[in-house]
Structure 1
Amino acid sequence: MASIRKRIKKDGTASYMVLWRDPKSREQQGLTVATLVEAETLKRLLDANGQSFEIAQHAILANAKRTPTIAEVIQEHIDLLVRPSSGTIKTYQTMLDLHVRNVIGHVPADKLDYRLLAHWVKSMMAKGLAPKTVHNVHGLISAAMNTAEMLGYIPRNPCRGVQLPPIEKAEDEAMFLTHAEFSLIMEGMGERYKAFTNFLVMTGTRFGEATALTVADVDLLSKPPTARINKAWKRDGQSKFYVGATKTGAGKRTIGLNPALVELLIPLVASRPGKELVFTTPKGGRIIHKLYWHHYWVPAVRTAQAIGLTKSPRIHDLRHTHVSWLIQDGVPLFTISRRLGHASTRTTEQVYGHLMPEALQAGADATERSVTAFLR
């Protein structure tokens, strides 16, 4: 049987060599192709035709004349991606295998239309998939169809305009803590992680960003003191963690630090090498979300609930809480957006706009002016 060997080039990209033994000369032959899809196709054709490359080649040429299937297009799209991490590639591959390949994956790409996509959406909802998941998979299909359009497989992307299930807005899930409520949680927080927890609520950084912060990223002598957020913990294709880029390009940002937070950070950065993490476990390792949540966050919240807290906040709600405090203090939306690392103020407004006191007051005042005439 033919076999496939993956080769990594000097630039980091991969190529694939298909190896087989010629049925006449019995000599080993090899051919290098650019994508795994091409390699698997050639291997399958060789195995089906007695390892005859001549017959396989005829089949490949005939196959090239047909429009690839939806699954083939998505697979080629994934193989052609350059920027995503191996963890992201694995996620896309899982989406294809679980939600597309055995549903509409066999359909030729040029036969995909609004009707078929609408049926696909309904089938995903019937399976119980969350609306967010349906949106994500549809996004992958749409991106792949953009690639198909560029490669000349189809005249236009049929995914445009397809109706998708509504997603609950982030503000419906977000929980905001008052200063007093946060203080209740801090009463039960383990001493080791008090500075870290305060950093989360005083900067609004994401957990993966805060835990990737190094001593060199913190400048307590500048005016104002700052923390440079330029990386975050990521998962690779084997679910192992590594330090990578922030969630978005806009996520790279510099955050001003308030005096109270500076006092907490001084002993954590003083006389320490720049490459070391600011926040660590007792053994100096990365703070793991699951362990922090289980051993510190949950016990602290339960302690707070025992003395009056009526909410059950998540760790990420510290980011929402940070924003709510800034809004209450009248900080402009643009400043908040930059501090959070949002790509645009629109994202910030969609999530937190309902908290803006000026907008709420303006609406109330406008209503009062409009009804004055008929109330008199």
Structure 2
Amino acid sequence: MNINNCKTENANTNKKRTQIISSPMTVTAVSKFLSSAEFSIGDALSSNKTEGLSLIKRKKGATFQLRVTIPGRGRKKMSLGKFNAQTNNSEHATIKALEVHQLIRDGKDPLLEAEAKLREIEEQLLLEKRKAMTLGQYFEKHYVPSVSGKRSGKEMGERIVRHFKFLFDVPLMEIEHHHIETWEKGRLKAGIQRTTIKSDFSKLFSLLESASKTKIEGSKVVNFIVRNPLADFKLSKPTSEENDRDHDKDKEERRALTDEEINCLHTGLAAFNEQKKAERRRSRKHGRSYLRNLDLLTYAHWLVPFAQIMLHTGLRQSDLYSLKWQAGGKNSIDLKKREIHVIPKKTRDLNDPAKILLHMSDELYDIIDSWHKDCGRPSTGFVFTNTTGGQHDRQAHKNLWKNILKLGSFPKPIVMYSLRHNFISRLISDRVPLLHIARLVGHKSIAMIEKHYGHLCPDESKDILSKMSKTVARRSSGETPSTDGVSKPF
């Protein structure tokens, strides 16, 4: 049976006339009814040959309507489509009406059957449409709106456009492994680091995962692709030469800054601070006297105390950006107790995240207290805010840092993360226990410290063996060491 076009209609409260004929609804009978001036819009033509079937006159043409009684739902109206004089579909409407009556006799609900059929057709049409949906179309119409409210949404979108625009005309379901393999080879040939390639690929992977997950759009449950086409794709592994090179580079980066570099850093920060004050003096002198006088402040720019705190604590930039002025917060500075509390961003989503508690040194306290004073002694809000009072973008320091390196005349450029490497490296050189270091920098165990900074650990194996030999020698002579320094026999 076919009842694709069935649907319910509200009852018409106006009294309308119905012409009842004893013969089937032929083209002649229907044409005569529609052309008759005796009948107006809303009047009906009904045949006693088919129970409940009527042809309703409309402003333009006519529609077939069927009245039926559905057990448990009462009297209902169903539309069986428009009348078409060219195809003479009155016979088709009669067949559909008979099919509906048969459904009712079989104990089925024709309205539910019709709705299910409609959904099936809609889903089939939607599936065909999705098969043709390209990556670019999904990106613009669905992905961008879904991530627009997220902090990293804009950056993710920009990276997808920048690196995968060549796939925008490819249907989602036709994206294949060879597309990414070719892209990866080109990036490696251009000298792009594998970590960067992996990060860029993860953005595309996330988009495809989003397209494959079931979600609600309006009143419909949809998923644009059944499965992420790159679900089982793996980026190529680095060669042994690359591993050796990366290991050497990693060792070179994870080190303590030299005394010269430390001096360059302080010089650069001081020069940058003075540069900002000089810029403000010029602005105030040339008609903008309403601007705050930065000469009255210790710090003319947030990045100066930001870098100094990082140098003294080894905190990651992301954790510094999330710090707030409040006592007892998860990521906060408590000046009264001289404490900094941090839950590292990398572990915040874990069931048992790492927790950092830093007790301020006098030097660190002076830096933070001066910045707090410059900010007007706030009791809440982010420690380092953007122009609207919100949290900085995680890349806010990038170009400013380059300026500081230039002003400090660094012998060789360093990334800001080197301040964290310096903090950890110096603690290791000072023989601070690795477990204490791990806790200070937000690691749950010493594994990461050993892996990345193990080459800095002092080699004390010679002294350890020497001490052991002396102990064994005393024991072999029949003596045992005592706590008061006097050897005693066994």
Which TM bucket (shorter chain)? 0.5 to 0.7
User: Which of residues 219, 236, 247 is equivalent to 2:334?
Assistant: 219
How much does 1:295 deviate?
5.7
Which residue in the other structure is 1:260 paired with? 363
Does the 8 Å contact 1:334/1:345 carry over to 2?
A: yes
Which residue in the other structure is 2:427 paired with? 326
Instruction: Tell whether 2:251 aligns with 1:141.
Output: no
Taking structure 2 as the reference length, the TM-score comes to 0.44
Does the 8 Å contact 1:214/1:278 carry over to 2?
A: yes
Does the 8 Å contact 1:218/1:226 carry over to 2?
A: yes
Which structure has more helix as a fraction of its residues?
1
Amino acid of the residue matched to residue 203 of structure 1?
Answer: T
Amino acid of the residue matched to residue 131 of structure 1?
Answer: R
SS in 2 for 1:330: coil
How much does 1:328 deviate?
1.6
Deviates more, 1:56-65 or 1:178-187: 56-65
How much does 1:68 deviate?
5.8
Bigger radius of gyration: 2
Instruction: Tell whether 2:262 aligns with 1:182.
Output: yes
Distance 1:135 1:255, change over 3 A: same
Distance 1:256 1:290 in 2: 28
Does the 8 Å contact 2:135/2:167 carry over to 1?
A: no
Distance 1:116 1:356, change over 3 A: same
Does the 8 Å contact 1:218/1:228 carry over to 2?
A: yes
Distance 1:252 1:80, change over 3 A: farther
Distance 2:413 2:172 in 1: 49
Instruction: Tell whether 2:225 aligns with 1:112.
Output: no
Q: Aligned runs of 1:292-303 on 2, under 5 Å?
A: 292-293=400-401, 296-299=404-407, 301-302=408-409
Instruction: Tell whether 2:417 aligns with 1:316.
Output: yes
Distance 1:109 1:269, change over 3 A: same
Distance 1:164 1:74 in 2: 29
How much does 1:257 deviate?
2.1
Distance 1:118 1:291 in 2: 33
The superposition leaves residues 205-258 of structure 1 with CA deviations (integer Å, 9 ceiling, x where unpaired) of 234544664443322443xx3113469xxxxxxxxxxxxxx4662587433323
Which residue in the other structure is 2:184 paired with? 121
User: Which of residues 158, 178, 199 is equivalent to 2:309?
Assistant: 199
Which residue in the other structure is 2:50 paired with? none
User: Which of residues 145, 158, 180 is equivalent to 1:94?
Assistant: 158
The superposition leaves residues 114-169 of structure 1 with CA deviations (integer Å, 9 ceiling, x where unpaired) of x4442332244356654333212222333345456655713885444331556846
Name structure 1 gaps, 5 residues minimum. Answer: 1-24, 26-55, 232-245, 367-376
Q: Aligned runs of 1:235-274 on 2, under 5 Å?
A: 246=345, 249=348, 253-269=356-372, 272-274=377-379
Distance 1:74 1:218, change over 3 A: same
Instruction: Tell whether 2:453 aligns with 1:352.
Output: yes
Distance 1:230 1:186 in 2: 28
Taking structure 1 as the reference length, the TM-score comes to 0.55
Does the 8 Å contact 2:173/2:229 carry over to 1?
A: no
Distance 1:286 1:149, change over 3 A: closer
Does the 8 Å contact 1:337/1:348 carry over to 2?
A: yes
Name structure 2 gaps, 5 residues minimum. Answer: 1-59, 61-120, 215-224, 274-297, 327-331, 466-490
Distance 1:294 1:158 in 2: 39
Q: Percent identity?
A: 22
How much does 1:102 deviate?
1.8
Does the 8 Å contact 1:135/1:164 carry over to 2?
A: no
Distance 1:160 1:344 in 2: 31
How much does 1:110 deviate?
6.2
SS in 2 for 1:218: strand
Which residue in the other structure is 1:153 paired with? 226
Amino acid of the residue matched to residue 275 of structure 1?
Answer: T
Does the 8 Å contact 1:117/1:159 carry over to 2?
A: no
Which residue in the other structure is 2:9 paired with? none
Does the 8 Å contact 2:340/2:359 carry over to 1?
A: yes
User: Which of residues 279, 284, 289 is equivalent to 2:397?
Assistant: 289
Does the 8 Å contact 1:251/1:340 carry over to 2?
A: no
How much does 1:203 deviate?
0.5
Deviates more, 1:152-161 or 1:72-81: 72-81
Which residue in the other structure is 2:341 paired with? 228
Distance 2:381 2:172 in 1: 52
* Cα RMSD after superposing both structures: 4.9
Distance 1:78 1:344 in 2: 38
Amino acid of the residue matched to residue 256 of structure 2?
Answer: F
Distance 1:346 1:72 in 2: 45
Instruction: Tell whether 2:195 aligns with 1:132.
Output: yes
Distance 2:391 2:210 in 1: 38
Does the 8 Å contact 2:131/2:171 carry over to 1?
A: no
SS in 2 for 1:254: strand
Does the 8 Å contact 1:214/1:275 carry over to 2?
A: yes
